[in-house]
Amino acid sequence: MDAERTEIGTIGEFGLIAELTKDIKLQNPRTVLGVGDDAAIVAPPPAGKQTVVSTDLLCEGIHFDLMYAPLKHLGYKAIVVNLSDLCAMNALPTHVVVGLALSNRFSVEAAKELYAGMKLACERYKVDLIGGDTTSSKSGLMISVTAFGEVDSDKATLRNGAKAGDLVLVSGELGGAFMGLQVLEREKHVFQEAPGAQPDLTGFDGLLERQLKPEARVDVVEELSKLEVVPTSMIDISDGLASEALHIASASGCGVRLHEDKIPMGEKMYETARAFNLDPTLCTLSGGEDYELLFTVPQDHFEHFKNHPMFSIVGYLTEDPNERTLITRNGMETELKAQGWDGFNEEH
């Protein structure tokens, strides 16, 4: 029996919006008015707080492939990647608005599945979905998310505040999302060659989750607050460790030295990279989409982080703004190159 399919045209834009938003739950005390009117109303942040805003646009065929990205996972990820940008400012997320452009390939049920993932992310991070827009598209699915957060006025963290001598740290493990993507692309290729073939994803659950359902490191922002540490700079790792480290160094007028043997890699990521004849280190430096946080702190904070299970000290900044050095496991020095993802690269 075929799955139920309701054409969006049969209920119209307002009917679709009603279907998508009918069970939204508000959790934030600053939300005065959510979905349902011409605009939402949010009370101003408390005294001593600032509002932080970030927007991402995700386009089918550029940022995601619906051959292997389930709509519910995609909705979840669309919210999370925006919340990650807020975390990179040392802010905690509070609200999101969502814009959708859908072609006639998508049914009401498909749109609801996408929104189910968005609502799940909002519930997970205690964020209110307070509005947005829907329209038709002639070129597939496009998702625009604008996220709002708040941060203490004296704790907002930019990319340009680092100083020479600052330690470079990262949260979590790197490279997993990239290897999850390699597994998915492999199985896509097999399916295209033999449409009857079943995907072999056994044993790759962790890597696939890193790619399809990442998490925003709100817990890192909370942990830094507990440690009473305000980073001198911070960025989320969407384009690979090398690219983000160089962004921080360039914005701060510094050079950077990273140690290969300090880069945190999961065992499964490492093994899978080797099985794909890929260099695991290169996967962490250039893979991207890990949405971990890279940040810098003065050296006198070393004791806070040297044995902390959430963080790895991977290098430090230097005075020479032209320095871009990776110290390999055998002690050799090589140029640190940014080969991360570029949304305007015609090869994508």
Q: What is the pLDDT of residues 203-249, one digit of tens each?
A: 999 999 999 999 999 999 999 999 999 999 999 999 999 999 999 99
The percentage of residues in the chain with a pLDDT greater than 70, rounded to a whole number, is: 97
Structure tokens at 289: 């989409």
Please determine, for residue 343, whether its predicted confidence score (pLDDT) is greater than 70.
Answer: no
What token pair was written down for 252? Answer: 């701060």
Residue at 66: amino acid letter:
L
Model pLDDT for residues 143-174, shown as the tens digit of each residue: 999 999 999 999 999 999 999 999 999 999 99
Q: H helices then E strands: how many in the chain?
A: 10, 13
Output the pLDDT for position 191. 85
Is beta strand 333-335 parallel, antiparallel or unpaired with respect to 41-42? unpaired
- From CA 14, how far away is CA 216, in angstroms rounded? 31
Instruction: Please give the residue that has the higher pLDDT: either 45 or 348.
Output: 45
Please give the pLDDT value at position 190: 87
Residue partners of 128: CB distance under 8 A and separation at least 6: 26, 27, 28, 31, 34, 94, 95, 96, 122
Tokens 């679709």, residue located? 16
Please write the tens of the pLDDT for every residue from 18-69. 899 988 989 999 999 999 899 999 999 999 999 999 999 999 999 999 999 9
Q: What is the pLDDT at residue 317?
A: 98
Task: Give the DSSP letter of residue 150.
Answer: E
96 CB-near residues (< 8 Å, 6+ apart): 79, 82, 83, 118, 122, 127, 128, 129, 130, 145, 146, 147, 148
Considering only 137-141, 282-286, 337-341, which range has the smallest mean pLDDT? 337-341
pLDDT for residue 348 is more than 50: no
Mean pLDDT of 307-336: 97
Count Cβ atoms below 10 Å from residue 139 Cβ, excluding itself: 10
Q: For residue 127, what are the contacts with CB-CB under 8 A and spacing of at least 6? A: 27, 28, 79, 83, 93, 94, 95, 96, 121, 147
Q: What confidence tier does 3 reach under pLDDT thresholds 50, 70, 90? A: low
Q: What letter represents residue 247's amino acid? A: H
Q: For the residues 311-324, what does the mean pLDDT come to?
A: 98
Average pLDDT of span 312-336? 97
- What pLDDT is stored for residue 344 in this prediction? 42
Stretch 87-106: mean pLDDT: 96
User: CA-CA distance, 294 to 88, in Å (whole number)?
Assistant: 8
**Where in the chain are all domains bearing CATH 3.30.1330.10?**
11-152
Question: Which of the two residues, 139 and 249, has the higher pLDDT score?
Answer: 249
Q: What is the pLDDT of residue 220?
A: 98
Which of 196, 178, 132 minimizes the C-alpha distance to 288?
Answer: 178
The length of the chain, given as a count of residues: 348
Q: Which CATH superfamily is domain 167-335 in?
A: PurM-like C-terminal domain (3.90.650.10)
Tell me whether strands 311-318 and 167-171 are parallel, antiparallel or unpaired: antiparallel
Q: Which element (helix H / strand E) includes 16?
A: helix 12-21
- The secondary element (H helix, E strand) that includes residue 131 is strand 128-136
R_g (Cα) of the chain, nearest Å: 21
Asked if residue 127 has pLDDT above 50, the reply is yes
Q: State the span(s) of the chain assigned CATH 3.90.650.10.
A: 167-335
* Domain 11-152 classification at class level: alpha beta
Q: What percent of the chain shows pLDDT beyond 90?
A: 85
In whole angstroms, give the CA distance from residue 168 to residue 127. Answer: 30
Alpha-carbon distance 147 to 84, whole Å?
Answer: 10
Res. 197 pLDDT band, cuts 50 70 90: confident
| Beta-bridge partner residues of 36 | none
- The pLDDT mean for the chain works out to 94
